[in-house]
Amino acid sequence: MLYFDSHIHTDNSPDGRFSASQMCEAAVKKGLDLITFCDHCEIDEFYSDNYDTRTVKAFADYCDAKERFSDSLTVLSGIEIGQPDIDKSFAYKIVSAHKYDYVLASLHHPHGKMPDIKDIEYDKIDVYRFMEDYFSELYEMAKWDGCDALAHLTCPMRRIQGKYQINFDYSVIQEATDELLAEIIRQKKAVEINTSGLRQAVGRTMPDENILIRYRQLGGKYVTVGSDAHSTDDIGAGIKEGIEKARKCGFGQITVFINREKKLIDIT
Ligand SMILES: [Zn+2]
Ligand SMILES: [Zn+2]
């Protein structure tokens, strides 16, 4: 079976440390067949964090790596666009500026405001109200026609369940969860199984089985799997576990986006 990783960062992301070439070399060493670069582009920090130049450099690096590694690795070009809902037409311009294979929408700064979800003090807020609001903003992003998939739906759990060890009862937010999943299905978008949580305190994929099973029950078909690697060590990390989880939740295929189109990889 094809060994792939659909979510990898380079040093074109503010939190990335290795060049596209270094990431490709590591991917080849680990036996990967296909990788998709998805560097950050946060809409709310577009100019203040130099994403105007970062996105151009990133895309050029992907093209260069694609050519350089053409014998050993399929290199795809993606973007992880943060908070596209706060300015959908501007976001659309950004994702249309290059011939991306994959547009992954994510929510790191709810409503385009700080703090980042990783810096929120979850022991001081109502986590259920926060997650309901988080899912309703993701619902807005699902409606946006500029993206192919939604990244790490339950990313705040890295802190809520991980760092703060809060016992989160998903049944409290069932309605908001169902509304979000139904919209993703209506829009024929994919849900990303982000495996970075497996190597962090939370110890599970984002989203985890409960949401993947519900997505499947409601008629969801498309899941992507990505490690969200920011370093060479993490390339491919948890991908096999992520695929196994998809299989366990009833999915027979994993989706990889090429040229913004779904390619289904059999996992049965
Ligand atoms: Zn992210
Ligand atoms: Zn990422």
Q: Report the domain count for the chain.
A: 1
DSSP string, 218-263: TT---EEEE--BSSGGGTTTTHHHHHHHHHHTT--EEEEEETTEEE
pLDDT tens column, 16-69: 999 999 999 999 999 999 999 999 999 999 999 999 999 999 999 999 999 999
pLDDT in tens, 156-185: 999 999 999 999 999 999 999 999 999 999
User: What local confidence, expressed as pLDDT, does residue 172 receive?
Assistant: 98
What is the whole-number distance in angstroms between the Cα of residue 80 and the centre of ligand 1? Answer: 7
State the residue for tokens 């990505």: 226
CATH number at residue 231: 3.20.20.140
> 3-state class of 49 per DSSP?
coil
Looking at residues 223-246, what average pLDDT do you find? 98
Backbone angles phi, psi at 133, to 5 degrees: -70, -40
Q: Helix or strand or coil: residue 1?
A: coil
38: CA distance to ligand 2 center in Å? 7
Q: What is the pLDDT of residue 62?
A: 98
176: containing domain: 4-266
Instruction: Kindly identify the ligand whose nearest atom is closest to the C-alpha of 156.
Output: 1
Cα 7 to averaged position of ligand 2 atoms, centre (Å)? 6
Which ligand has the minimum distance to the alpha carbon of residue 16?
2
Q: Quote the ligand 2 centre to 13 CA distance (angstroms).
A: 9
Q: What percent of the chain has pLDDT over 90?
A: 99
